[in-house]
Amino acid sequence: MTWRVRTRDGGTDLLLLLEFQSRPERHMALRTTAYSCLAAQSLLQQDKELARGDRELAVVALVLHHGDRRWNAATRLSDLFTESAPDAYRAVGRMPPNAQPTGPEDLPRVVLGLSGVTKAEQMRAALTVLLPLVEACEDEDFDRFMARSVNAMLLSKGFSSQQLEEAMTMNTVVTEFQRSWDEVRQEGVEQGQVAVLVQLIARKFGQRTAEEVRRLIEGRPGRDRIAKVAAAILDCDTPEDFVGRVREG
Residues 94-144 have pLDDT tens digits of 887 777 888 888 888 888 888 888 888 888 888 888 999 999 888 999 999
pTM check: above 0.95: no
> Could you tell me which residues come within 8 angstroms of residue 92 by beta carbon, excluding any fewer than 6 positions away?
108, 109, 112
- Helices 223-235, 170-205: axis angle to 10 degrees equals 10
Q: What pLDDT is stored for residue 72 in this prediction?
A: 92
Confidence of residue 184 (pLDDT cuts 50, 70, 90): low
Query: What span, in angstroms and rounded, lies between the C-alpha atoms of 19 and 65?
Result: 8
Please answer whether residues 29 and 77 qualify as being in contact, where contact means their C-beta atoms are separated by less than 8 angstroms: yes
Does the pLDDT of residue 176 top 90, yes or no? no
Q: What pLDDT is stored for residue 70 in this prediction?
A: 92
Please answer whether residues 16 and 62 qualify as being in contact, where contact means their C-beta atoms are separated by less than 8 angstroms: yes
Query: What span, in angstroms and rounded, lies between the C-alpha atoms of 151 and 1?
Result: 50
Q: How many CB atoms lie within 10 A of CB 194?
A: 19
Confidence of residue 22 (pLDDT cuts 50, 70, 90): very high
Query: What span, in angstroms and rounded, lies between the C-alpha atoms of 87 and 42?
Result: 18
Could you give the maximum distance between any two Cα atoms of the chain, in Å?
Answer: 114
Confidence of residue 41 (pLDDT cuts 50, 70, 90): confident
> Could you tell me which residues come within 8 angstroms of residue 114 by beta carbon, excluding any fewer than 6 positions away?
123, 126, 130, 150, 153
Task: Provide the β-strand partners of residue 26.
Answer: none
pLDDT, mean of residues 39-56 = 77
What single-letter amino acid sits at 191?
Q
Residue 227 sits at φ, ψ, to 5 deg, of -65, -40
Q: What is the DSSP letter of 6?
A: E
Query: Phi-psi bin for 9: left (phi > 0), alpha (psi -120 to 50), beta?
Result: alpha
pLDDT, mean of residues 33-48 = 84
Task: Provide the β-strand partners of residue 6.
Answer: 13
Confidence of residue 189 (pLDDT cuts 50, 70, 90): low
pLDDT tens sequence across 214-240: 888 776 567 777 788 888 888 888 888
Please answer whether residues 218 and 184 qualify as being in contact, where contact means their C-beta atoms are separated by less than 8 angstroms: no
